[in-house]
Amino acid sequence: MSSEKENINFDFIGKGWSFPPVFNKTIKGVELREGNDDIIESIKILLTTLPGERIYDQNYGCDLSPLLFEPFTNSLKSSLSDTINNAIVLFEARILVENIKFELSTDDGIIYIYIAYLIKNYNSRYNMVFPYYLKEGTEL
C-alpha cells in the first residue's frame, strides 16, 4: 500500500477525522484518516445516516430501512443498489461506483454490502464491505 500512497495526491482525496473521533495523547490531537481510508470512513458515515438526520444538510444520507421489513428479493437488491449508488454519486464525489453486491447471512442477521469503486483521476480500484445489521441488541 505504501507505493499506492506515493502515487495518490492526498490534497485531492483529503483527510478527515476518524469516526468515531479518536483522541491520541501521543500526537496530542485527533487521529486522521487519509487516502482510501478516508473514503471508506465517508461511505460508512453516509450509509449509516438517514436523510433528515443532519441539521445542516437534510438531504445527506442513505435510507437502507427497506432492508428491515421486506423480503430480500432481486427487486429489493436492485432498488437498494440504486439507492446506495445515488447517495454516493451525490455525496462522495471522489469515487465512481463500479459494482454493488449483497450477501445475506441468515445466521447472524447481517447483510454484507460489497461496494467496488474507482478513485477518480487515479484509476485506483478498491473494494469495501459494509455489514448492515438486521437484528440489533444483545442477549442479556
**pLDDT score, position 9:** 53
Q: What is the CATH number of domain 2-133?
A: 3.10.450.40
18-49 pLDDT, tens digit per residue, is 777 889 899 888 888 888 888 999 999 999 99
pTM exceeding 0.85: no
Instruction: Say if residues 72 and 56 touch (Cβ distance below 8 Å).
Output: no
User: Can you give the residue ranges of every domain in the chain?
Assistant: 2-133
Please give the mean pLDDT across all residues of the chain: 83
Main-chain phi, psi angles of 98, to 5 degrees: -100, -35
* Residues near 114 by beta carbon (within 8 Å), at least 6 away in sequence: 99, 100, 101, 102, 103, 127, 128, 129
**pLDDT score, position 4:** 45
Q: Which residues of the chain have pLDDT under 70?
A: 1-12, 134-140
**pLDDT score, position 12:** 62
